[in-house]
Amino acid sequence: MLAYVFWHRSHDGTAAAEYEARLTAFHEALAAAPPPGFYESFAYRMSGAPWIPDGGPGYEDWYLLRDAAALDPLNQAAVSGPRHRPHDAVAAQAQWGAAGLYLLRQGVPAFAGLRRGLWLPKPAGQSYETFYAGIRAHADSEPWALWGRQMVLGPTPEFCLHQPASTLSTPPGATVVGLELVWAGPAHRADK
């Protein structure tokens, strides 16, 4: 599974409720008329991400895809058909955006009850095998997922660890990003 992750923030002075209503309308339109290879999406209000300009609050959208071949249909679908107006409405209020592409490396997607993302690099000189074993040892007691950045696309560290239980310890070198669910598909709405 692949995830296209989009970080963005609204223009200064834009009310969060208005921006989030427009963001929700876009995700709803995408879910109602999904492109080929698209599974589902999630939108979060986020805090503590050093890659957001001025260290301000921002948003993190996860678009789960079958594979890289689903990127072109998603890109085209986002700005066409019944998704065109909702996309343009939220884009008109966006001040900044950046994106990355992530492959599910271990675990299963863990978006239910997610309250934080742990962004971390692989320690220099450590093999991927050793790094993955350390993550498994750290996270095996809860539902969790390790996502790995593809082709150095995106402003974040190489890995993102999702673990819904906020009581679990934080791996060394991780940046903790707080997440509050703004939108999830029908199967996940009870989590909000």
Condensed to tens digits (0 to 9), the pLDDT of residues 163-181 reads: 876 666 787 789 999 999 9
Condensed to tens digits (0 to 9), the pLDDT of residues 97-148 reads: 999 999 999 998 878 789 999 999 999 999 999 999 988 887 766 788 999 9
Arithmetic mean of pLDDT over the chain = 91
Q: Which CATH number fits domain 2-187: 3.30.70.100, 2.30.30.100, 3.40.109.10, 3.40.30.160?
A: 3.30.70.100
Asked whether the predicted pLDDT for residue 182 surpasses 70, the reply is yes
Asked whether the predicted pLDDT for residue 191 surpasses 80, the reply is no
Asked whether the predicted pLDDT for residue 188 surpasses 70, the reply is no
Q: Of 9-23, 62-76, 139-153, which range is least confident?
A: 139-153
Q: Of 48-62, 76-90, 121-135, which range is least confident?
A: 48-62
- The 3-class SS string of the chain reads CEEEEEEEEECCCCCHHHHHHHHHHHHHHHHHCCCCCEEEEEEEEEECCCCCHHHCCEEEEEEEECCHHHHHHHHHHHCCHHHHHHHHHHHCCEEEEEEEEEEEEEECCCCCCCCEEEEECCCCCCCHHHHHHHHHHHHCCCCCEEEEECCCCCCCCCEEEECCCCCCCCCCCCEEEEEEEEEECHHHHHHC
What predicted TM-score, i.e. pTM, was given to this entire model? 0.93
Identify the pLDDT of residue 171: 78
* Domain residue spans of the chain: 2-187
